[in-house]
Amino acid sequence: MNVLEQARAVGDAVLYEGYLLYPYRASAGKNKVRWQWGVLMPPSYASADIGEHASARVECLLEPLAHTILHVKLRFLQTRTRLGWDEAVEHEIDFELPLSELPLESPFHVPGELEGTNELSGVLTARVDPLDGPFGGSRLRVELRNTTSWPADGVREHALRHALLAAHLVLGVDTGHFLSMLDPPEWAKPAVEACTQERLWPVLIGDTSRSTVILASPIILYDDPAIAPESPGDLFDGTEIDEILTLRTMTLTDEEKREARATDPRAAALVDRVDAMPPELLERLHGAVRSVRPVEPSVTVAGVRVTAGSHVRLRPNLRGADAQDMFLTGRAATVRLVLSDVDGGTHVAVTLDDDPGADLQHAHGRYRYFSPDEIEPLEVAE
């Protein structure tokens, strides 16, 4: 997957975050208050007093080369009202902006061609300014504004039909690169602190230090976000666990599934996909650990070398830990793996000695994880 495909995949998750929540029926209370992320209202309705806005702005740092061209991909949803339910229509608008010609204002228009949709209009503004100091670089500012004309009646549900929903930007350069706003080089940190973000947050795609592509998302993300390869399809709730939502959907009654399918074509496709999911695909959802990796399989605790097979006693640090860990204090366990995370921290994976399913847990790679200061070696230091 190249960086643009990765940006699109993460952007799709942003587009449909909260679009329709379990149990995927229009009658569910949680599905009667919708469209929370990246909502740019028509100016006649927008007001800071009620937390509704017509514009968003992103600023990021760029090290351009001569004749660099900025490519902007604007993506958003538009509501389409059919049978009393607002479906989503995807829109994607591309802008090609030579940096040498900035600042520029680029208006856009979406005709209300489909039944149940309204005309939309907006403007994208971009400017670039050189940074002070000897290191070069530039600050890029891109602003997105909904300029749709609509005689506001004060009803949010009506205003949403004239809004840009889940609006986000994919920014790319053909030469040069963007710098990370989360972990910039030392010389760029003052410039990063001077940047202002308004309802859009810039993260690198494809790397965590510099890249030719940035996703400006209404949801705060880390650099180089990606969709888990185990995920078989959108469940419209990236804050939940795919396995849990899939199992919950499987438990819906036939009548509940009929109502969900009748609510929205995307809900119908979701329910159909879950109903047809083979067991081996469901098993893939059970979990994958990517943030840790095996290291030289030992760690020294209280002068004792702890490695796979070592016997320890658990002494969980209860502050900031899982509350259920209090029930593990003093329990004997066997170390199965010593792991290192991406920040260089060490973690010890164990199974409980008095758990009759310990060997089965080990066979499936299901462990409890503790830091070295939360275990007490049962062997005596030499």
pLDDT at res. 36: 84
Residues 198 and 334 in one domain: no
pLDDT at res. 342: 63
Give the mean pLDDT of the chain: 89
Q: How many angstroms separate the Cα of 100 from the Cα of each of 50, 97, 108, 188, 302?
A: 39, 8, 21, 22, 62
pLDDT at res. 297: 73
Distance between CA atoms of residues 220 and 224, nearest Å: 12
pLDDT for residue 381 is more than 60? no
Q: Do residues 308 and 297 touch, judged by C-beta distance below 8 A? A: yes
Distance between CA atoms of residues 352 and 368, nearest Å: 8
pLDDT for residue 99 is more than 80? yes
Residue 48 burial (CB < 10 Å; 0-12/13-18/19+)? exposed
Among 185, 217, 249, give the residue marking a domain's end: 217
Residues 200 and 77 in one domain: yes
Q: Do residues 311 and 353 touch, judged by C-beta distance below 8 A? A: yes
pLDDT in tens, 284-315: 776 665 555 555 578 899 889 999 999 999 99
pLDDT in tens, 9-56: 999 999 998 898 889 898 898 888 888 889 999 999 999 899 999 999
Distance between CA atoms of residues 163 and 145, nearest Å: 10
Does some domain include residue 138? yes
Residues 192 and 53 in one domain: yes
Residues 42 and 183 in one domain: yes
pLDDT at res. 51: 92
Distance between CA atoms of residues 91 and 76, nearest Å: 5
pLDDT in tens, 220-272: 899 999 887 777 778 888 766 777 788 889 889 999 999 999 999 999 999 99
Judged by phi (left if over 0) then psi (alpha if -120 to 50, else beta), residue 373 lies in alpha
Residue 72's closest CA among 91, 53, 102, 92? 92
Residues 181 and 77 in one domain: yes
Among 194, 217, 240, give the residue marking a domain's end: 217
Q: Do residues 74 and 95 touch, judged by C-beta distance below 8 A? A: yes
Does some domain include residue 262? no
Q: Do residues 199 and 242 touch, judged by C-beta distance below 8 A? A: no
Residues 211 and 300 in one domain: no
User: Which DSSP string corresponds to 133-196?
Assistant: STT--EEEEEEEEE-------S-HHHHGGGSBEEEEEEEEESSSEEEPSSS--GGGHHHHHH--
Task: Indicate the pLDDT class of residue 331, thresholds 50, 70 and 90.
Answer: very high
**CATH number for 361:** 2.30.30
Does some domain include residue 259? no
Distance between CA atoms of residues 211 and 222, nearest Å: 14
Domain range holding 192?
Answer: 35-217
Does some domain include residue 315? yes
Q: Do residues 14 and 217 touch, judged by C-beta distance below 8 A? A: yes
Does some domain include residue 170? yes
pLDDT at res. 286: 64
Residues 71 and 172 in one domain: yes
Among 183, 217, 251, give the residue marking a domain's end: 217
Looking at the 3D structure of the chain, how many domains does it have?
2
Does some domain include residue 227? no
Residues 298 and 165 in one domain: no
**How much of the chain is in helix, strand and coil states, percent to nearest 5?**
25, 35, 40
Residues 182 and 309 in one domain: no
Does some domain include residue 43? yes
pLDDT for residue 141 is more than 90? yes
Does some domain include residue 251? no
Of 109 and 317, the one with more pLDDT: 109
Does the pTM exceed 0.85?
no
Output phi, psi for 381, to 5 deg.
-65, 140
pLDDT at res. 247: 86
